[in-house]
Structure 1
Amino acid sequence: MSGAEQLTAAFRRLDATLPLAQFPLPIEGAEALRSLAGSMAHQVRDYLLPRAARLDAPLLAVVGGSTGAGKSTLVNSILRAQVTRPGVLRPTTKSPVLVCHPSDEAWFRTEHVLPDLVRTDTQLHDSRALHIVATEALPPGLALLDAPDIDSIDDANRSLARQLLFAADLWLFVTSAARYADAVPWEYLATAAERNTVVAVIVNRCPPGAITDIGGHLSQLLSERGLPQAKLFAVAERALPSDGMVPPGDVSGIRQWLGQLTSESGARAQVAVQSLAGSVRSLDAQLTELTAGVQRQRDALAELRRETVAPYQRAAAAVAEAAGDGSLLRGEILSRWQDLVGTGEFMRSIEERISAIRDRISGWFKGEPKVEAMEVAIADSLTAVLLEAGERAAEETAASWSLTRWGRDILSAAPHLQRASDQFPEAAAAAIRAWQTDVLSLVEQQGRGKRMKARFLAIGTNVVGAALIIVVFASTGGLTTAEIGIAGGTSLLAQRLLEAVFGEDAVRRLAEHARRQLHDRVDDALADEAARYIQILETLSVDSDATGELQAAAADLREAARAAFDDLTAPELT
């Protein structure tokens, strides 16, 4: 594969990779990076690919500059033909005009150059339509493109002006005696210097007596800004004749310079190679900038994800603590438990206690109100704890996100994220009900053994399940309620009941299993709440391979450029 072919392949890879450079969060510099990525994509398609594929293709000289600088008039005057219509209204919304020799028209009619623009044979009020004019007034090998104003008040015109300049082999940069020191033109000229673009600067409407002074000052500025080789032309200010063209003598220097470029194939090739090499060299720094920007986006998104996960992890931990420190045995749950099993002396033998309470709890088998009241008390109390934890997690997440501009932007667009979802109360209640069902299934499975069957049936599934929940609520670090003084001895009775049915070791395992099931149900409910934030972050996510792909494309381009420009003996890349 030749050097030029390697370079073309590298451009194609870059063109396929640039869409990975996404900047969805408004972090510092994101807007500029989005603009840079778009500009690079246009440059690859509009200029680099077609030029690398055909170094002998006609040169494209873009005539650009500030509003009212007289670009169209100069183009007509250079060619001595009315090929482009000067704008009267501002902003001038008209299609750009590309003028070429008839023998070059086929090249510019194809989509090799500026593929995003629609070709037309008439100048339209549409900045995305490229009006092509073929005329023998321009010699073969060079096209002039009259571009929109670089400082137009119309965003589309301004964007297109930049795109066209970056698709050029050389620039004819038009300014005026009154505006040659303006900031915007020099921003573009600085870019031309970075890219080593061949540039000619034309000072239009220059007072005859000031040509020497303005020319000297502008020449000094160009040299100081990295463009000492730029050609400089001055066009005197004078009343235009009826044809609206500048007198031939005033543009003869420009015509002669353009003629030299087209008459000598070596000169034309030198311009093509110089601009191509400079553009390729500038891409390396731009790709480094894009890659760093993508990584900042990924870091910012990862931080928002962490600031979402952490509050919900703390919420889950808070529910687990509340469900195991005995605090839930105060109030309604304790009252309902005592109502069912009594609070009398419990240090007598467990067999006596079971016998004494058997009649009291027999109603559980029939689903009497006391049983239901106990179940409701458990569900309501634990659901309230979960709801409070979920609400607090939403508030903490919103507070963390609001510390950054991009987080505030997301919250502003989705204010519901600052509180628990409308669906969370029902989801929390469903999670706790599901856990209560888990506990009943757990004790039923444990009670299937023959040796336990009699005692298990004597007490009943609901009683055993309630007792197990009481034990779960009363356990902290392996200590029972009696040992930490919460809820008196009532919860110890629950443990003794379970031990009489299952044995001490089995009770310990059952309590741990039930506790894990509760944690899983709570985790799932809170994870669903956190998913609201994660889903939004997913829509803003940056491709995980983006940085690696951009770095690989940059390395590929560097290697291909060395091969290509070694072949073409471009000293600026050796």
Structure 2
Amino acid sequence: MLVCHPDDHHWFAGTRVLPELRRVWVPVQETVPEPHAAGEADGGEGNGLDTDLDADTDDAGGELPALRIETDRTLPRGLALLDAPDVDSLVARNRELAAELICAADIWVLVTTATRYADAVPWHLLRTAKEYDVTLVTVLDRVPHQVALEVSRHYAALLAAAGLDDVPSFTIPELPESAGGGSGLLPATAVAGLRAWLDQRAQDPAARTVASARTVAGLLASLRSRLPALAAAAAMQHAASVRLLQRVEDAYGRASDRVGREITAGEVLAGDALTHWRGHPHDSTADELLTALTGSLAALLSCAVAAADEDIATCSAGDPAAGTVLAPRDPDGAAGRIGVAVRRWRRCLEEIAEEEVRAAERGAGVDPDRIGALLAVSLLGGRRARGEAGEGLAEALGAQGVLRLRDRGRRLLADCVEHVLDAERDRRAAPLEAFDVTPDHQVDLIAALSVFQRER
């Protein structure tokens, strides 16, 4: 949520400020709140997101998170209060959004409580604020009266030990409103000091200039350490990308070699395919034989893809990048895609068989389906079956026709195998390649750092 004076609403209507958040406008408050209604009793620990949206709706394909904008005439012009999500939220998107919103502000108001002021998260923010040299103010909220002095002194000592003793700090006692009683709003007197401090920063031109100048200077100074860190991260990212892509390439390369060896050895002519071949042509038709061979080839390719995927998983075990940037294994989908590709190969094989039969001098009376089946056996059945099928082809088409047909068939088979394995390899690597991770990112960051250091 962002609250500003009505005259300042135009600053936040467009995408100049926080462009990644869509706007949800709340009507202008025309009535002046009661004097006691100075602020919410929760100390500003709400999440600032539209409550109708999940923090990660943008990841799920829905609308982007919304910034709810309200206007209030009791705020001075030039001051906008931005309530960020909890920096220690259990929702990762909330934590990321909190960091984005905090970094967009010129003044950081860190609100913590008497029970949590020593936690690690607020102190990480305080150290970050010191690193960026931003204008900082802290609020110690919900402090029981009986320990207010003791807690305030201890908190001040911690700030001093961290080199932040010059940071303004305000203490808000624990009141019935804080516990959920009454109106739920703190009395104006409880936050009078903080409000006066913020009003002074908004209305004093010198204070405004100092705050904005510190923000810019701190941001630029932080680039000296952040840019080298980003360049190193970019280099690591590129190395991880190259490493993962090489694993995918190697795994599918080994799968291709294995398929080639098994086809040469006649592994496809097994099971039903072998039974139909032995029964052909008396007990098995050419169509049945070719269908069995097609199914056996598809099964061989499916096993090769599964083995390649298992190879990738084994090589990538323990690599955190692999599970997030490589497409998941999809054995059922792969089987379907491979089946389509192999059936397409069969149709092409039958077409070239028909063409050779028509072109052959002795083609009259030759069954193109039988020629297609014999060609498939000669390509997939290994040495022995190749010889037997070759005799039948030579008898029907002649020696020259057989050589020509086998050459075309080998090219078709090689193209089919290559297409199947390349398509599955590309599918696994597609999410990673979509990131477009190149060495240019590191080079650009180093060049930007060089220019920055020279200009500074």
Please state how far the C-alpha of 1:550 moved relative to its aligned partner.
4.0
**1:499-545 superposed Cα distances (whole Å, 9 cap, x missing partner):** 9x65xxx69xx64x544433333334445544663564476244464
Structure 2 residue identity aligned to 1:315: V
Q: In structure 2, what is the Cα distance between the partners aligned to 1:555 and 1:164?
A: 27
**Cα separation, 2, equivalents of 1:324 and 1:439:** 20
Offset of residue 470 of structure 1: 10
8 A Cα contact 2:3 2:71, kept in partner:
yes
CA distance in 1, matches of 2:15, 2:387: 87
Contact 2:139 2:171 in 1 (8 A): yes
User: Per-residue CA shift, 1:362-418, capped at 9, x if unaligned?
Assistant: xxxxxxx76x96845863564354134123224324433554573899557x4514x
Contact 1:401 1:408 in 2 (8 A): no
Query: Of 255, 260, 269, which aligns to 2:209?
Result: 269
Tell me the equivalent position of 1:421. 336
Distance 2:95 2:380 in 1: 71
2:119 alignment partner AA: D
Could you tell me how far apart the structure 2 residues matched to 1:551 and 1:544 are?
14
* TM-score, structure 1 as length reference: 0.53
Measure how far apart 1:161 and its partner are: 3.9
**How far is the alpha carbon of 1:461 from its aligned partner?**
9.2
- Which residue identity is paired with 1:438? I
C-alpha distance in 2 between matches for 1:181 and 1:537:
47
More helix by share: 1
| Alignment of structure 1 residues 140-539 onto 2, 5 Å | 141-151=78-88, 160-206=97-143, 213-215=150-152, 217-219=154-156, 221-222=158-159, 228=164, 231-235=167-171, 237=173, 239=175, 244-245=186-187, 247=189, 251-252=192-193, 255-256=196-197, 259=200, 262-263=203-204, 265=206, 267-280=207-220, 281-282=222-223, 284=227, 287-288=230-231, 291-292=234-235, 295=238, 296=240, 299-300=243-244, 303-304=247-248, 306-308=250-252, 310-322=254-266, 333=277, 375=286, 379=290, 382-383=293-294, 385-400=296-311, 402-403=313-314, 406=323, 411=328, 414=330, 416-417=332-333, 420-421=335-336, 424=339, 428=342, 431-432=345-346, 434-435=348-349, 437-438=351-352, 441-442=355-356, 511=403, 514-527=405-418, 529-530=420-421, 533-534=424-425, 536-537=427-428
Following superposition, the deviation at residue 178 of structure 1 comes to 1.9
State the distance in 2 between where 1:474 and 1:236 align. Answer: 83
SS of 1:179's partner is: coil
Quote the offset at 1:134 in angstroms.
Answer: 3.6
Question: Given residue 321 of structure 1, which amino acid in structure 2 is its aligned partner?
Answer: A
Partner secondary structure for residue 522 of structure 1: helix
Aligned counterpart, 1:98: 3
1:133-175 residue CA offsets vs partner (Å, 9 max, x unmatched):
244x64x554443445444678776665443212101201111
- Quick check: 1:206–1:234 contact (8 Å CA) kept in 2? no
Instruction: Check conservation: 2:256, 2:421, Cα contact below 8 A.
Output: yes
Distance 1:556 1:488 in 2: 62
Alpha-carbon distance in structure 1 between the residues aligned to 2:176 and 2:2 = 22
What is the number of equivalent residue pairs in this alignment? 405
Aligned pair in 2 of structure 1 residues 120, 561: CA closer, same or farther (>3 Å)?
farther
CA distance in 1 between partners of 2:71 and 2:386 (Å): 95
Decide which of 18, 31, 41 is 1:114's aligned counterpart.
18
Contact 1:165 1:171 in 2 (8 A): yes
> How far apart, CA to CA, are the structure 2 residues paired with 1:148 and 1:202?
16
Question: Which of the pair has more CA radius of gyration?
Answer: 1
Is the alpha carbon distance of 1:158 and 1:119 closer, same or farther for their aligned partners in structure 2, counting shifts above 3 Å? Answer: farther
RMSD, aligned α-carbons: 5.4
- Which residue pairs with 1:75 in the alignment? none
8 Å contact kept, 1:379–1:429? no
Corresponding residue for 1:41?
Answer: none
Q: 1:146 to 1:398 in 2, by over 3 A?
A: closer
What SS does the aligned partner of 1:420 have? helix
**CA contact under 8 A between 2:108 and 2:136: conserved in structure 1?**
yes
How many Å separate the matches in 2 of 1:108 and 1:442?
74
Distance 1:258 1:561, change over 3 A: farther
Q: Which amino acid aligns with 2:187?
A: M
Structure 2 gap segments, 5+ residues each: 30-47, 52-66
**Aligned letter for 2:349?**
W
Contact 1:120/1:129 (<8 A) preserved? yes
Structure 2 SS opposite 1:322: coil
CA contact (8 A) 1:464 1:498 kept: no
Distance in 2 separating the partners of 1:274 and 1:520: 69
Q: CA deviation at 1:489?
A: 9.4
Q: Percent identity?
A: 20
Whole-Å separation in 2 of the counterparts to 1:487 and 1:126: 71
SS of the residue 2:336 aligns to: coil
